[in-house]
Amino acid sequence: MSDEYYLELSENPVQFENASSVNNVFFDEANKQVFAVRSGGATGVVVKGPDDKSSVAFRMDDKGEVKCIKFSLGNKILAVQRTTKSVDFMNFIPDYPHLEFSHECKTKNANILGFCWTNWNEIVFVTDQGIEFYQVLPDKRTLKLLKSQSINVNWYMYCPETAVLLLSTTVQGNVLQPFAFKSATVSKMSKFEIELPAVPKPAKLSLSERDIAVATIYDQLYVMYLKHHSRSTNSPGAEVVLYHLPREGTCRKTHVLKLNTTGKFALNVVDNLVVVHHQSSQTSLIYDIKLRELDGALNVHQPVLPAQSINPYKIHLTGPAAAPSQAPVPCELYSSSWSVFQPDIIISASEGYLWYLQVKLQPTLNLLQDKGKLMDFLLRRRDCKMVILSVCSLMLTGGDKGNLSVVATVFDKLNQVYKEYLDAEQAYTAAMESGPSRSSTSYKRPVRTQAVIDQSDMYTHVLSDFTEKKGVKHKFIIAVLMEYIRSLNQFQIPVQHYLYELVIKTLVQHNLFYMLHQFLQYHVLSDSKPLACLLLSLESTYPPAHQLSLDMLKRLSTANDEIVEVLLSKQQVLGALRFIRSVGAHDNVSARKFLDAARQTNDTMLFYTIFRFFEQRNMRLRGNPGFTENIREHCEEHVAYFKQVFGENALMKQATA
């Protein structure tokens, strides 16, 4: 059942006290922590985070209703807002006094809307009249103003991943002013306007923070605006408009996601996919902004996959009312008590659960029939390798079997990513080898993502199994192998010898020797020593393979030793000697190796010819025809044999002066 759903909630959610048993539940997006606050006498706070290290429980004096509560990064300092005029702080740094201290906003008549930690000791107060950026000095229990900015503020939104704060300004609230924070500095980015739907006069729309989300997609910051259906324009449904917000330069509207329906929506971003939840239909849609459908200057996108519900989830009941043997109960998906946070968090305050939304790739294989589009989609996902390899296997043996153009498209898409990685790796290596310089310091070692499917992956998980499949025509098998080699060559990726070996073994298995001969003759299969050795081993099945192997070794020009070994093993001793003379290496070869081979032929005249050749070489090099008694030569037994067969007088005499 779960294999049908491409969206699911994380198996191990963060559990906290639900809303019915506490006064307030808060979520801190920066630390991914849930604060369950219970008041009465003293205020009890239980903080649950993604792991045990970020979970903590403590008590503090009850000084009024908590409006906002967050830890700085690393749980070092706690900030609590109880009024619209000040924020209270408490040290959680070891060996620091565990006492509260307070700080009022400096702007007169301003009301604090909230605050954001931008570092472990840096905080920004957002008021209705602007921002105040402070450094917290925990040892002195005080705050130091770093910068302030006056601007009328309706509401704000903070993206902890990029440390960018978005302020809603003007009467309609649709002019957004971003600020970027970095190590005690704040910079004002270009403001921009969100286009609101047209409405009949005199009515006016204003921008609600419920319709805005800020998230990083493909390493770029986007402001996502949920533009609701407008009756006056007869638009078919709501849409999500994406505004690209660069660090420098102007913010532009770049993408429109068509929802094709109306109602209540919520947004998440998971694995660079925008997920839109629709409450009334209890389904979700996913969009990939890199799958382009150009419509003028804007990219207009339809859902990548059909609308579908999140995978059903069951909750284990806890507490005094739960019986030990009680079966888990279904969780109400798309509940009105759900709160959605960026990028991928869903919280049910009523049930006391925090989940991470996850995308499952395997179910998408049956939903995206276009293999090229499917491959584009999968290559951009985080855990894609094994799914992509399974797509390749199914493509070769399943319903698409025989469609070589589809196979070619998929191979090219895989090898393009593979080539980009190899080029980046090569550029990094070259920069490192050139020594430290201004340019080399900007190089980061390329990260090998799961989208890099190399030749070893294809060989191990796809091609070697495919060549063994029963019921697949051998012509198609060879065509697929050659298509993969063609694609590698197109992207100038050196083909590994084991792929050529797979081609040769397949050809031999089906007795396609004429094709093998042609592939070698026209250099379709590139020369290599392992390939030459494989050809040698085929000689008993296909005798011409011996000569093909020798020709290949000669072309390699770095395989002289291998050629000599091959010829000697075939008792072609004179042929080996002629070859070694042709490459000018006869002064350095071992005489013993050749004399051993000549003896094994039992041809005494051949032995005589070889022996005489090396005597003459010794004479030319050392002025003495005799063999030296070093380990390399060690020819005493051959000298004795020569004397025995031809007599001592047949030995060459040393020249006399």
Instruction: Quick: pLDDT tens for 116-164.
Output: 999 999 999 999 999 999 999 988 889 999 999 999 999 999 999 999 9
Cα–Cα distance measured from residue 414 to residue 416, given in angstroms and rounded to the nearest whole number: 6
Region 80-106 average pLDDT: 88
Q: Model confidence at 293, in pLDDT bands (50, 70, 90)?
A: low
Is 80 exceeded by the pLDDT of residue 575? no
Is 70 exceeded by the pLDDT of residue 3? no
Could you tell me the pTM of the whole model? Answer: 0.80
SS3 489: helix
- pLDDT of 441 reads 55
pLDDT tens figures, 262-290: 888 999 999 999 999 999 899 999 999 99
CB neighbourhood size of 194 (10 A): 20
Cα–Cα distance measured from residue 433 to residue 435, given in angstroms and rounded to the nearest whole number: 5
Strands 353-359 and 112-119: unpaired
Mark 451-467 as b/e (b = at least 16 C-beta within 10 Å): bbbbbebbbebbbeebb
Burial class (CB in 10 A: 0-12, 13-18, 19+), 514: exposed
pLDDT tens figures, 598-639: 888 888 888 988 888 888 888 888 888 888 776 556 788 888
Beta bridge partners of 275: 268, 286
Is 90 exceeded by the pLDDT of residue 551? no
Strands 185-188 and 192-193: unpaired
Is 60 exceeded by the pLDDT of residue 402? no
End-to-end, the C-alpha distance of the chain in Å comes to: 99
- pLDDT of 320 reads 45
- pLDDT of 442 reads 64
- pLDDT of 415 reads 95
- pLDDT of 645 reads 83
Q: Dihedral sign for Cα 389, 393, 394, 395, please.
A: positive
CA angle 544–548–550, rounded 5-degree value: 120
Token reading at 450: 């799961």
Cα–Cα distance measured from residue 599 to residue 591, given in angstroms and rounded to the nearest whole number: 12
Axis-axis angle for helices 573-582, 560-569 (nearest 10): 160
User: Is residue 388 within 8 Å of residue 380, measured between CB atoms?
Assistant: no
CA 253 to chain centre: 27
CB neighbourhood size of 533 (10 A): 17
Is 60 exceeded by the pLDDT of residue 399? no
Mark 297-336 as b/e (b = at least 16 C-beta within 10 Å): eebebebbbebbbbbebebeeeeeeeeeeeeeeebebbee
> Tokens 């067969």 appear where?
645
Burial class (CB in 10 A: 0-12, 13-18, 19+), 582: exposed
Peptide bond connecting 236 to the previous residue in cis, omega within 30 degrees of 0: no
Beta bridge partners of 559: none
Is 90 exceeded by the pLDDT of residue 388? yes
Cα separation values, 86 from 118, 135, 147, Å = 18, 15, 17
Closest CA relative to residue 184, chosen from 246, 106, 119: 119
Cα separation values, 444 from 340, 380, 435, 454, Å = 35, 20, 14, 21
Closest CA relative to residue 652, chosen from 633, 601, 644, 643: 643
Burial class (CB in 10 A: 0-12, 13-18, 19+), 250: exposed
Q: Model confidence at 98, in pLDDT bands (50, 70, 90)?
A: confident
pLDDT tens figures, 186-245: 999 999 999 888 776 666 778 888 999 999 999 999 999 999 876 655 667 889 999 999
